[in-house]
Structure 1
Amino acid sequence: MKHNTELYELLEVKTRQYNQPSFIETDPIQVPKQFSGKENIEIAGFLAATIAWGQRPTIIKNAFRLMKMMDQNPHEFLMSTNEVDWIHFLEFKHRTFNGMDCLFFLRSLKNIYEKHGGLEAVFSSGYQIDQSMASALRHFRQVFFEVAHESRSQKHVSNIDKGASAKRLNMYLRWMIRKDDGGVDFGLWNEIPMSALLLPLDVHTGRQARQLGLLSRKQDDWKAVLELTESLRQFDPIDPVKYDFALFGMGAFE
């Protein structure tokens, strides 16, 4: 695909239109936005992204419910409470993510902060393996499931080696890593460059990308993520996933 000036201008205009604080009002990123401490933002963001499928109002409502169940201080809750106090999480449910999954996720997050230096450290050490988001995602999944768990919980963390697009994890990484003045993404993490990020591919962004000639692959899978992100790097090699705002906005709201 050759650089298309008209397409570039459209993507830039739509990115500026949607990369605004008003975007937060309908997006799950509003859940971590209620926190100021790094660890609370990381944990709240990860849990909100984990259940980010289905109707957005339901996602947001259930993610806020999780924060309330963690006493509005998720990091302190994980570090200072015991699993015997977590019985009420068995009542939590979001679509196929049930109470047993929720308990395991809390257990694994606690392990990550106690033994691996936190979420940023896990993703960053994975990235350093070969300077790619693929290695970051693989390493994170390996660490996340080192804690005892039921096999059913594995479906809630994407496996790119089985072709998954890893939409929710890529969205979470965009939140944590992208730095700009749009007021949406946090830009908290410094060890992984924005240029390495991959587009969070969903039905909206995929459909819009195909209509614009940015994506030829028909499935919304891992290969499509790589193809689409590479197309977007031709327009901005430093910050290619900023165009997530344009593609999602045009696909979901227009």
Structure 2
Amino acid sequence: MALTKDEIHLLLEEKYDQFNRVSFIESDPISIPHLFSKKEDIEIAGFISATIAWGQRKTIIKNANQFVEFMDMEPFDFVMNHSQKELNRFADFKHRTFNSIDAQYFITALKHIYTIHGGLEQVFAKHPKNMQLSISNFKRVFFEENHPQRTQKHISDPLKNSAAKRINMYLRWMVRKDKRGVDFGLWNKIDAKDIMCPLDVHSGNVARKLGLLTRTQDDWKATIELTDSLKQFDINDPIKYDFSLFGLGVFEKF
């Protein structure tokens, strides 16, 4: 028997309250940026962690932790001031298909973004009301420097209908301000009502079971449909329900 709209709302609110807690951090890739207190350190550590956030969560956290350790636990300072010799620390870095070539270019690209474009927030806020354009613009800027072709696959482009799950998750971390201690809410140039719900196999399956998503593919069109469905329940902060969908899918096998 299908749940009514009110019952779905109640379930989403209940699970949001259950999972959006500080205890959630430890087992999630967001734990890596939580090691830092300076805005730029959080942004960079968060961006790296979100980028490699696929596969087993323990492995993601272990490898993201190694990445920031190679940066002497000072991500921003390392990005801005590293030598070629220091970059060589990443020679054996690997997470799934993300390897040392990608890691080294990411550091180069981040330096370019902070030096030329005023930082990650500035670049993502180019189209603050349209995340499809915003993320696509970010990818263009990210690859302005001479880069290995293989590295392009690690940044999604929603203009090519990619769900851009990891970037949307990163934007949730940076943009949402709910004072619960999980998401950072560091960025002020993008509003929480304009970011998109991270869509992966877990959140997609739960959303379809709840009737919040009819599209069968996990792509950008599905991301729009899901986000619009969640806006029925909270127009100003629809992405808070990412906690609900994720918790139901991963922890409760809904």
Q: Does 1:126 align with 2:127?
A: yes
Q: Distance in 2 between matches of 1:23 and 1:202?
A: 18
Q: Distance in 2 between matches of 1:162 and 1:59?
A: 26
Number of the residue aligned with 2:194: 196
Number of the residue aligned with 1:139: 137
Number of the residue aligned with 1:28: 29
CA shift for structure 1 position 84: 4.1
Render the CA deviation track for 1:143-189: whole Å, top value 9, x for unaligned.
00101111111100001122210000000000000000221100000
SS at match of 1:125: coil
Q: Distance in 1 between matches of 2:126 and 2:226?
A: 25
> Contact 1:28/1:56 (CA < 8 Å) preserved in 2?
yes
In structure 1, list runs of 5 or more residues that go unmatched: none
What amino acid maps onto 1:92 in structure 2?
F
Number of the residue aligned with 2:241: 243
What amino acid maps onto 2:202 in structure 1?
H
Q: Distance in 2 between matches of 1:181 and 1:106?
A: 30
> Contact 1:126/1:140 (CA < 8 Å) preserved in 2?
no
What amino acid maps onto 2:176 in structure 1?
R
What amino acid maps onto 2:150 in structure 1?
R
SS at match of 1:183: coil
Render the CA deviation track for 1:26-49: whole Å, top value 9, x for unaligned.
100000001000000000000000
Q: Percent identity among equivalent residues? A: 56
Number of the residue aligned with 1:43: 44
Q: Distance in 1 between matches of 2:159 and 2:188?
A: 26
Number of the residue aligned with 1:62: 63
Number of the residue aligned with 1:176: 174
SS at match of 1:188: coil
Consecutive aligned runs of 4 or more in structure 1 exceeding 6 Å deviation: none
**Residues matched between the structures, number:** 250
Q: Distance in 1 between matches of 2:92 and 2:55?
A: 19
SS at match of 1:46: helix
Render the CA deviation track for 1:112-170: whole Å, top value 9, x for unaligned.
0111100001111233xxx2111211110110010111111110000112221000000
TM-score scaled to structure 2, two decimals?
Answer: 0.96
In structure 2, list runs of 5 or more residues that go unmatched: none
Which of 227, 230, 254 matches 2:228? 230
1:155-166 equivalent positions in 2, closer than 5 A = 155-166=153-164
TM-score scaled to structure 1, two decimals?
Answer: 0.96
CA shift for structure 1 position 242: 0.2
What amino acid maps onto 2:67 in structure 1?
L
What amino acid maps onto 2:180 in structure 1?
G
Render the CA deviation track for 1:64-111: whole Å, top value 9, x for unaligned.
000100000010111122234311212100000010011110100010
User: How big is the alpha-carbon RMSD for the aligned residues of Structure 1 and Structure 2?
Assistant: 1.2
SS at match of 2:126: helix
What amino acid maps onto 1:152 in structure 2?
R
Number of the residue aligned with 2:86: 85
What amino acid maps onto 1:29 in structure 2?
I
Q: Distance in 1 between matches of 2:238 and 2:180?
A: 15
